[in-house]
Amino acid sequence: MKEKKILPVLMATILTVAVVGCGNGNNTNSSTANNSNQSKTEASETGKINFNEEPYTIKMNYAVLGQEQPDLSKIEAKLNEVTLKEINAKVDLEGVSLYNTANVYALKASSGEKMDLMMLMPGSSYLSSFAGRKMIRPIDKEIAEWGPALKETAGDLLPAGQFKGEQYAVPQITSGKLTFGFTLNKNILDKYNIDITGVSSLDDMDAIFEKVHKSEPSLTLLAPEVSSSDMASFLVYFDGLGNTYGGLTDDSGTKVVNLFETEQWVNTAKKVREWYQKGYISKDVSTSQDDGGTLLDNGKVFATASGSIHFNGGATVPIPKRTIALHPPVLTTADSQLFLWAVSSSSERPDKAIQFLNLLNSSKELSTLLKYGIEGEHYELNKDGTVDTSKNENYRNDWLMFGNYNLMPLDSSFVQSSGISADKYRAREKEWNDKTEKSPGYGFMFDPTPVKTEVAALDAIVQQYRKVIGNGSVDTDELLKKFNDSLYAAGLQKVMDEKQRQFDEWLATKGK
């Protein structure tokens, strides 16, 4: 119901915007041009940050869940002290509701509202469409000029911010790549004396599930970690290169294949169906709104099909958990695009925006400030170098979206729950990161614009079938064929051909 109302509201807003926008559209354009000329001349003259001009205010938009943090203004004041000194600019932080980011950014862009830095989350959903519609601008020149630290710290991630060969966004440096597998309740494992070392495939899980099911027949054994997704999708490796339609599997090389016809996906879906029929999975799994992760923590399920397996092998809080990784970690473009910082086309000073990102990524002080808040007020520093944020409610920032993860201290609750000591944590993480490979498609971003009609139709079909098949709640053999037939009827081949074409082109330019 709410969604339906968006259209009239949008229309009304658009109208107001059109009236206002037409009036001063030319002015803003010319002033942008002037400004960029200015900054160019300044740059070439001095090569350094100009402190003689009026400090520019950088508007920074990012996604929040729910409310803005109460102490944001304090953080901002502290931040501005540093930025005024370092880059002669102020930063104005403004959160945008996560579920509304696309609409809010679109409205801001079409109304000409001031916007400099905007966070795209997840960037894989927005980068190509925003760049394709010229909502965000290329920043190659600015990065070359003002981003030496960026190139150093986020250098190998930068390809993930590219679109059609141009840099449009800066990927956020976050913790290591996660992989997929199972997360299990350790109490139950211990109770029935189950050893999970050496478990590395779906078939290995049969024995474990059977043992637990025999002893506790009423317990649900398996659920998807997130209710909006399905189990088979969690348990198969696939680099979709921008969307679900055609991508790379483990053995497809650089050939784009249809995920729902691959042996891995089909077999996984059949396995999940088998478990469903044996009663390991809730009959309501496809309609349930409860995330498996929550159910696991509450002891309502024994295991989840999980996409958040980390090097630490489990957790201790809120309940002891063990994890089984089914696949080594592989970094895809979409992974590095979880948080992307892009510069709006309407930004008057893209150079300042990049200067700020550059500063933020190289400064431990600012990274820590934006992530944890102010020492003594929002966090305490522990002896082992980790921070304790448990006593603070006024500045909580659960995502790693600001600053350089490698520079900031670790959150003690996070380290403790992994059951590893703080100094070992970093070492183990580094080992894991070194082990992480990059997908052959890393840095490639599919542009769906030429086939957007087909993609829209495919999106609707995938929602119809993927979840019920992937959760085993319907007859796999019968529906899988119907699913693939509908996909091809809606133009899957056309989308895959287009993707292959773009991918080959990209590979060719990369090879040069």
**450 is a contact residue toward other proteins (CB under 8 A):** no
Contact 231, 307 (CB under 8 A): no
**217 is a contact residue toward other proteins (CB under 8 A):** no
Structure tokens at 351: 């150079």
Nearest distance from C-beta of residue 80 to other proteins, angstroms: 29
**283 is a contact residue toward other proteins (CB under 8 A):** yes
Only one of the segments 10-18, 163-171, 177-185, 403-411 lies at the binding site for other proteins (rule: CB under 8 A); that segment is 10-18
Only one of the segments 106-114, 356-364, 411-419, 504-512 lies at the binding site for other proteins (rule: CB under 8 A); that segment is 106-114
Closest CB to other proteins among residues 286, 362: 286
Nearest distance from C-beta of residue 44 to other proteins, angstroms: 26
Q: Select the residue interacting with other proteins from 287, 298, 316, 421 (CB under 8 A).
A: 287
Closest CB to other proteins among residues 193, 463: 463
Pairing of strands 330-331, 437-438: parallel
Closest CB to other proteins among residues 243, 355: 243
Pairing of strands 117-120, 56-64: parallel
Q: What single-letter amino acid sits at 143?
A: I
Can you give 398-434 as a three-state secondary structure string? CCCCCCCCCCCCCEHHHHHHHCCCHHHHHHHHHHHHH
Closest CA to 469 of 325, 290, 271: 271
Closest CB to other proteins among residues 177, 466: 466
**448 is a contact residue toward other proteins (CB under 8 A):** yes
Closest CB to other proteins among residues 130, 425: 130
Only one of the segments 21-29, 61-69, 180-188, 301-309 lies at the binding site for other proteins (rule: CB under 8 A); that segment is 21-29
**18 is a contact residue toward other proteins (CB under 8 A):** yes
Structure tokens at 7: 């259209």
**466 is a contact residue toward other proteins (CB under 8 A):** yes
* Partner residues linked to 459 by β-bridges: none
Nearest distance from C-beta of residue 110 to other proteins, angstroms: 4
Nearest distance from C-beta of residue 2 to other proteins, angstroms: 8
**3 is a contact residue toward other proteins (CB under 8 A):** yes
**481 is a contact residue toward other proteins (CB under 8 A):** no
* Partner residues linked to 239 by β-bridges: 248
Summary count for the chain: helices (H), strands (E): 19, 16
| Binding-residue total with other proteins (CB under 8 A) | 58
- Kindly identify the residues of this chain, within the stretch 236-265, that bind other proteins according to CB under 8 A: 243
Closest CB to other proteins among residues 115, 189: 115
Q: Select the residue interacting with other proteins from 79, 109, 342, 359 (CB under 8 A).
A: 109
Contact 353, 117 (CB under 8 A): yes
**174 is a contact residue toward other proteins (CB under 8 A):** no
Only one of the segments 42-50, 247-255, 403-411, 458-466 lies at the binding site for other proteins (rule: CB under 8 A); that segment is 458-466
DSSP 335: H
- Kindly identify the residues of this chain, within the stretch 117-146, that bind other proteins according to CB under 8 A: 125-126, 129-130, 133-135
In a 10 Å sphere around its CB, with 0-12 CB exposed, 13-18 middle and 19+ buried, how is residue 217 labelled?
exposed
| Sign of the dihedral through C-alpha 44, 45, 49, 52 | negative
Q: Alpha carbon of 384 to those of 234, 271, 380, 429, 481: distances in Å? A: 35, 45, 12, 17, 56
**282 is a contact residue toward other proteins (CB under 8 A):** yes
Nearest distance from C-beta of residue 85 to other proteins, angstroms: 34
Closest CB to other proteins among residues 414, 488: 488
Q: Select the residue interacting with other proteins from 267, 345, 413, 433 (CB under 8 A).
A: 345
Q: Select the residue interacting with other proteins from 455, 480, 495, 496 (CB under 8 A).
A: 455
Nearest distance from C-beta of residue 169 to other proteins, angstroms: 15
**465 is a contact residue toward other proteins (CB under 8 A):** yes
Nearest distance from C-beta of residue 469 to other proteins, angstroms: 8
**452 is a contact residue toward other proteins (CB under 8 A):** yes
Distance CA 61, CA 130 (A): 15
Closest CB to other proteins among residues 109, 160: 109
Structure tokens at 467: 């979840």
DSSP 262-327: SHHHHHHHHHHHHHHHTT-B-TTTTT--S-HHHHHHTTSEEEEEEEEE-TT-EE-SSS-EEEEESS
- HSE (side-chain half, CA atoms, 13 Å) at 362: 16
Q: Where are the alpha helices (DSSP H) in 216-253?
A: 231-234
Nearest distance from C-beta of residue 266 to other proteins, angstroms: 18
Nearest distance from C-beta of residue 243 to other proteins, angstroms: 8
| Phi, psi of 51, deg, nearest 5 | -100, 0
Closest CA to 495 of 184, 115, 241: 241
Distance CA 151, CA 15 (A): 42
CA 69 to chain centre: 21
Residues whose CB falls within 8 Å of the CB of residue 126, separated by 6 or more in sequence, listed in order: 101, 102, 105, 120, 340
Contact 387, 410 (CB under 8 A): yes
Closest CB to other proteins among residues 22, 508: 22
Other Cβ atoms less than 10 A from the Cβ of 421: the count is: 13
How many residues in total does the chain contain?
512
Distance CA 28, CA 17 (A): 14
Distance CA 188, CA 296 (A): 11
**419 is a contact residue toward other proteins (CB under 8 A):** no
Residue numbers at the binding site for other proteins (CB under 8 A) = 1, 3-4, 6-8, 10-12, 14-15, 17-18, 21-22, 25, 102-103, 106, 109-110, 125-126, 129-130, 133-135, 243, 282-284, 286-287, 289, 345, 448, 452-457, 459-461, 463-468, 473-474, 486, 489-491
